[in-house]
Amino acid sequence: MNIMGHLQQLGRSLMLPTIVLPGAAVFLSLSALPWASMGIPSMHNYLQTAGEAIFSFLPYLFAFGVAMGMTSNAGTAGLAALAGMFIYTGIINSSHYELEPTVFTGVIIGIVTSIFNERFKTIKFPEYIQFFGGPRFVPLAMSLFSAVWAIIMVQLAPSLHHALIGLGDIVSSGGGFGVFLFGFVLRILVVFGLHHLVSHVFWFQVGGFQLPDGVMVFGDLPRFFAGDPSAGAFMAGLYPTMMFALPAIAFAIIHEAREDLKPKIRKTFLTAALASFLTGVTEPIEFAFLFVAPYLFVIHALLSGLMMWITYELGIRSGFSYSAGAIDFLINEHLATRGWLLIPIGLVFGALYYGFFRWAIRRFRIPTPGREEGSQLDEWAGDIPYRAPLILQAIGGKDNIVQMEACITRLRLKVSSDKLIDINALKHLGAAGVIRLGGGNVQIVFGTYSELIREEMDKAIRRDISRVLFCSPVQGRMLPLSEVPDPIFAGKLVGDGVAFIPDKGELVSPVLGKVIHVYPSMHAIGIRTPEGLDVLLHIGIDTSQLKGTGFKSVVNEGDQVKPGQLLIKFDLPYIRKASKSLATPMVITNSDRVSSWSFAPFKGVKRGQASVMSVVLKERSGGGETV
């Protein structure tokens, strides 16, 4: 059993039910408007009831969400979890104790449902009762479990009730340091995508507050919206981090970028800064410096914890329905205590972050985006359908994927072999970072487009089409064929494809295939793929006149080659001086057989790097099968 893999899946599952919370916050905020003076006094009650209803049914949402998330959206599991919650609630309501199901209850039922689903979904019975076999047995097993567990909980209810309140008292006794520690650990766990595990405990389970009708609510977040004046200590301090500190880092990265790259970096990181400020989505900025300067991330985590400590000591209590961005800040300000102080605190720390990060980037020559080989953070929303097949290839192809899910900012994968993952290619395709958790569990941070990427990858996997994927034949820079300084190649008279400017004198095979032609001057080579595509690789422009000088072929006609295999060595300095251009086209000469093309961004590439081009073949006109 891989613990980290199960934890990352649980972390994603815990986040799913929180998606509905912004709706509750909006309803509760609107209910505070002066509806009576508008002539519709009943509107206040309607809106307040709508908001409170979501919080009332949170345990059911968590049971359903965890069960679905842990079983890759198995509908039977979701149904079984809800049935379990209904049975549990029915039994405890029939007891003489004033009990209410908690979020913790929902999480436990969701987890148990996922375990039962994995254990019993393939169970077989004799044919005359096989109706209850397979996935249909999961709701039956969960019904029995929920009934037994509810009976046990009724007996333990008084002790557990006091234990939850006592746990809240223990946590509160930690004071400002406890809040600081929570903030520090929360940021560190963002790296592994496990931050929802620790935040869930504090936001939905620790501490109790009794409503006027006697109902108890648990957790910092529900207590805040229920009107508990002491709630919000574990949320308020996140506002300065997300609204000011992270955007300040984005501005520091922009201003330290090279002048020639600054326009593109500015566009990308202004978008990332705005996302952090408005919605609290921080990973695109944090991953821009996490891998190139992890010590800076530790300092950032310490400062984030310090901000939470300061807000606690100043008596600031505020909360959010989803994340600590400006939208939540404005919606929930009327419920906060001294919430306005978050703005000056954020401005001070924003200035501190900006100055410190600019100094550190310059002083330690940190390769943030826009400087040297900085980490990638791309803006390519409209390009997702075209890049998804390339991302799939960089992950190792559909056969390497055991399980694929997505949360708000990252793909969460279980792969057969993480050694098949091409990290350079993924960063080339827009990934902010790749995290290996062991046991084949991998997270790829793509920002807020991660779910759309997953959907397009699912489509690419399901489509029964013939696709040929290309690696980079050289190390250097990829460019459109139209920029090749030769009218024959630029006009696509030889074929369609892409080109490269090499910075190392080695040409490798971009595909699996057979060498069908090695030019006598060895400046070009032809390869035929198993699908019947003829690929021409041409080193430089007007290099045939060199008559083989500076070139050495290491393969012969008829040889079978695989992606990344060395084909030709060439004297780069000599060819640079003796030829018109180093531009090296990679074209498909029988491109009439291609139905559609996908190209990676035209940036620097490594030799043999996966996912630089992908083509879909046309169907045969006769039999209707793909070539």
Each residue's pLDDT tens digit, 152-199: 888 776 676 667 666 666 766 778 898 998 999 889 888 777 777 788
Given a cut of 90, whether residue 55 has pLDDT beyond it is no
> Which one of the listed residues 196, 200, 300, 538 is annotated catalytic?
538
Q: What is the pLDDT of residue 351?
A: 97
Rg for the chain, CA atoms, rounded = 29
173 burial level (CB within 10 Å; 0-12, 13-18, 19+): exposed
pLDDT above 80: residue 538: yes
Tokens of 50: 């709508």
What is the Cα–Cα distance from 421 to 215, expressed in whole angstroms? 51
Torsion angle, CA of 415/417/423/424, rounded to 10 degrees? -130
Task: Return the SS3 of 370.
Answer: coil
Residue 479 pLDDT > 50: yes
Q: In which residue are the tokens 């820079």 written?
A: 477
The single-letter code of the amino acid at 225 is F
Mean pLDDT on 404-418: 84
Q: Which long-range CB contacts under 8 A does 26-35 form with residues at least 24 apart?
A: 26/51, 26/321, 26/331, 27/51, 27/54, 28/52, 28/225, 28/335, 29/331, 29/332, 29/334, 32/334
Is the pLDDT confidence value at 399 over 80?
A: yes
Q: Percent of the chain at pLDDT above 90?
A: 41
Q: Which domains does the chain have, with CATH numbers?
A: 3-176 (no CATH), 237-364 (no CATH), 383-464 (3.30.1360.60), 468-617 (2.70.70.10)
Whole-Å CA distances, 564 to 474, 523, 550, 587 = 9, 18, 21, 17
Which DSSP string corresponds to 237-284?
Answer: THHHIIIIIHHHHHHHHHHTS-TTTHHHHHHHHHHHHHHHHHH---HH
| Catalytic residue selected from 196, 200, 300, 407 | 407
CA dist 55 to 88, 111, 219, 315, Å? 18, 20, 11, 25
- pLDDT at residue number 623: 41
Contacts of 434 (CB under 8 A, 6+ apart): 421, 423, 426, 427, 442, 443, 444, 445
Q: Give residue for tokens 């012969």.
A: 556
Mean pLDDT of the 198-212 span: 81
Q: Which two tokens stand for residue 477?
A: 């820079």
**Residue 2's pLDDT is what?**
59
Cβ neighbors of 54 (< 8 A, separation 6 or more) are 20, 21, 23, 24, 27, 61
Q: Is 195 noted as a catalytic residue in this protein?
A: no
> Helix, strand, coil shares of the chain as percentages rounded to 5?
55, 15, 30
pLDDT band at 615 (very low <50, low <70, confident <90, very high): very high
Q: What are phi and psi of 415, to 5 degrees?
A: -120, 160
- Alpha-carbon dihedral sign for residues 308, 211, 214, 111: negative
Q: Is 407 labeled as catalytic in the residue annotation?
A: yes
Q: How confident is the model at residue 622 (pLDDT cuts 50, 70, 90)?
A: very low
Q: Which H helix or E strand runs over 454?
A: helix 450-462
In this prediction, residue 459 carries a pLDDT of 82
The residue-averaged pLDDT of 53-71 equals 87
- Residue 583 in tokens: 């531009």
Please indicate, yes or no, whether the overall pTM of this predicted structure exceeds 0.75: no
- 347, 369 contact by CB (below 8 A): no
